[in-house]
Amino acid sequence: MTNTADSTNDRKGVFITFEGPECAGKTTQIALLKRRCDELGRKTLVTREPGGTEIGEALRNIVKHHVGDTAVTDHAELLLFSASRAQHVEKRIIPALEAGYVVICDRFIDSTTAYQGYGRGLDLEFIKTLNAFAVRGCVPDITILLDLSAEESHERGQKREETLFVEDRIESEEIDFHRRVRDGFMKLAELDSERVKVVSAVNSVEKIELEIFRYVAPLIG
């Protein structure tokens, strides 16, 4: 794996991304994996997209929480996600990998393909080009795809919204949108099965954690 367009020799760390529909349990599993990395004595950076930097977090708020007349358009959404990613990769992810960290990222390029490509129906080839431009060769060593049906995702989302009182524009999309997103994720896993490992998100937290660790253990030692 390369971490820049110009070099393949500087990467000493491991890049792990988590993907999946809304409310699939990524936050929980990322925390558990970080704990295992800590126990192994590995330096770990946990980050997220959109976000990860001051600029990225500002863009995250614009994309996810501006609703109604102030909401971004589909095309603007795609470009804002990509802008956040370009900043994130250059300022946080690449330096951490060069320093030998295990970088665990909540969402990355696959989410853009699934949500803006399959979900929104934007041009997949353009998204592929845009993703490549933003990451400059910095692709994950492994991606954990937590799989959850659109119906179960919606049910979990309703409970979370009632508990946290936070309106998320993307989570609030109609269920057909989330079905297309899930189908997109599964298509990506089919096309890149060496990198993308599908883990059912309906199992117990403990079972999911063990399955994930079996996949990542050879990488983190």
Q: What is the pLDDT of residue 3?
A: 38
Report d(CA 165, CA 149) in Å as an integer. Answer: 23
Q: Is the pLDDT of residue 41 over 70?
A: yes
Q: Is the pLDDT of residue 33 over 60?
A: yes
Written as six digits, the tokens of 160 are 């979370």
Q: Is the pLDDT of residue 166 over 90?
A: no
Q: What is the pLDDT of residue 155?
A: 83
Q: What is the pLDDT of residues 107-127, one digit of tens each?
A: 999 999 999 999 999 999 999
Q: What is the pLDDT of residue 157?
A: 74
Query: What's the N-to-C CA distance of the chain in angstroms?
Result: 18
The pLDDT-based confidence of 36 (bands split at 50, 70, 90) is very high
**Average pLDDT across the chain, whole number:** 90
Name the CATH topology of 14-220: Rossmann fold (3.40.50)
DSSP annotation string for 87-121: HHIIIIIHHHHHTT-EEEEES-HHHIIIIIIIIT-
Tokens 């199992």 found at: 203
Give Cβ neighbours of residue 23 (< 8 Å, ≥ 6 apart). Answer: 148, 153, 156, 157, 160, 171
The pLDDT-based confidence of 8 (bands split at 50, 70, 90) is very low
Q: Is the pLDDT of residue 26 over 70?
A: yes
Q: Over range 118-140, report the average pLDDT.
A: 97
**Residue with more model confidence, 8 or 114:** 114
Q: Is the pLDDT of residue 5 over 60?
A: no
Residue 106, CA distances (Å) to 92, 140, 145, 187 in order: 14, 12, 11, 19
Q: What is the pLDDT of residues 171-211, one digit of tens each?
A: 777 899 999 999 999 999 999 999 999 999 999 999 999 99
